Amino acid sequence: MRKIYMDHTAGAPVDRRVVSAMHPFLEATYGNPSSAHSFAQEAKEGLKDARSSVASLIRAEESEEIFFTSCATESNNWAIRGFAARNHDKGRHIITTTIEHMSVINVCKHLTKQGFKISYLPVDKHGIVDLKALETELTDETILVSIMYANGEIGTIEPIKEASEIVHARNACLHVDATAAIGQFPIDVRKAGADLMTLSSNEIGGPKGVGALYSKKGTRLQPLIFGGGQERGMRSGTENVPGIVGMGKAASLTNLEIGDRITKLKRMRDRLIKGLLSNIPYSFLNGHPSQRLPNNVAVRFSFIEGESMLLNLDMAGVAASSGSACTAKTLEPSHVLRAIGLKHEEAHGSLLFTLGTQNAEEDVDYVVDLLPDIVKRLRALSPLTPKELTGSV
């Protein structure tokens, strides 16, 4: 059976060239970078190159502004908790949005127990954050604002540069979760005006289990993990050298190939959106129509459930998602879909396809041929489908 993978935001294949770059660091170069011998020296070089590649990918001023972590969740935790711990003398107010990943929202909830006040900015029906509300919410007590660069569930890209100008005018700092954005469009962290930025390796063709936090020189941040002083005392623990080397290689390939990747992804994205929306009645796009990640096709279909569409797609060899893979374990409709104003039943009818560069136009055509029949069958069985439609949908 044909197998088509369209769930890249949840997990993506590691580029073969990345695997080759990692290989020596799994076999021959096994020294601990903190040791004093030549084996350590090679590992140290590997870390240095990787740091410089990740820094170049986001146009950071210095490699030393990049700290490697174990994942985007850790980077988000560190950015917010570490910043709050070092800066609460200036104020105890943090602003974020209603559509952040749970690794931001749950950290903020946790901080309320430590006396922090959290404001959640609303978004419009396309998922764009309300910058007027940002201006209103900022006070002298606000120390940090955390806004994602793009939302992987609905594909919407946020106006980060404009947000950073507003935040800096009030002397607060900006953390940007760029997990879903990295590799999807060129990022210049200085032009964007981020003080802290979360990055993930798997989203750019690197291995899982690695992430990074950009921390602009001079940003006051407390370590999240204390120990032997690795990562210049900011993130202790023996470094995941093969993983970090993999992230570095993925970053340098992304730097070189990002233009071609975007062109290919956008072509497939637009073909899939058009194919689904024009062949399936009562189908709608979730997220912004143009300010949108090149790999993201988030759609919803009235009267049926995403879960049953997913199972039917899976049986036909197509892997997609019903929403955020990170929250798929709960039966609650996604907080992101609720935040853009969808009713429960609309949110439940959502499907998310996230494309990768190894997908081909034929994969898109296969899904466009397959899904209308699945939807029709499920609608015929659904008590929600209006009677006049059951014959025709």
Which residues are identified as catalytic?
326
Site stretch for ligand PMP (CB under 6 A), options 68-76, 81-89, 117-125, 255-263:
68-76
Q: Which part of the chain contacts ligand PMP (CB under 6 A), choosing from 19-27, 173-181, 238-246, 298-306?
A: 173-181
CB of 118 to ligand PMP, least distance (A): 17
Q: How far is the CB of 299 from ligand PMP (least distance, A)?
A: 18
Q: What's the order of all strands across the beta sheet hosting 211-215?
A: 66-69, 211-215, 196-200, 173-177, 142-148, 93-97, 117-121
By CB under 6 A, residue 101 contacts ligand PMP: yes
Should residue 73 be labelled a site residue for ligand PMP when binding is judged by CB under 6 A?
A: yes
Q: In angstroms, give the least distance from the CB of 103 to ligand PMP.
A: 5
What is the rounded CA–CA span in Å between residue 96 and residue 120? Answer: 5
**What length does the chain have?**
393
End-to-end Cα separation, the chain, in angstroms = 27
Q: Are 48 and 231 in contact (CB under 8 A)?
A: no
Measured in degrees and rounded to the nearest 5, phi and psi for residue 12 equal -125, 155
**Smallest distance, ligand PMP to C-beta of residue 61, A:** 24
Cα 126 to chain center, whole Å? 17
Strand partners, 212: 68, 199
**For ligand PMP, the closer CB: 134 or 199:** 199
Decide if residue 179 touches ligand PMP (CB under 6 A). yes
Residue given tokens 């146009």 in the structure block:
59
With respect to ligand PMP, which residue has the nearer C-beta, 200 or 215?
A: 200
**What is the footprint of ligand PMP within residues 125-164 (CB under 6 A)?**
148, 152
Beta strand ranges found along 86-202 (DSSP E): 93-97, 117-121, 142-148, 173-177, 196-200
Count of positions on this chain that bind ligand PMP (CB under 6 A): 14
Torsion of CA 134, 138, 142, 145, to 10 degrees: 10
Contact (Cβ atoms closer than 8 angstroms) between residue 163 and residue 135:
no
Does 326 help bind ligand PMP (rule: CB under 6 A)?
yes
Write out the binding residues for ligand PMP, residues 199-218 only, by CB under 6 A: 200
Interface stretch with ligand PMP, choices 177-185, 223-231, 259-267, 367-375 (CB under 6 A): 177-185
* Eight-state DSSP code of residue 27: T
Q: What are phi and psi of 236, to 5 degrees?
A: -75, 165
Q: How far is the CB of 389 from ligand PMP (least distance, A)?
A: 35
Q: CB nearer to ligand PMP: give 8 or 379.
A: 8
> Which residues in this chain contact ligand PMP in the complex, by CB under 6 A?
9, 71-73, 76, 101, 103, 148, 152, 177, 179-180, 200, 326
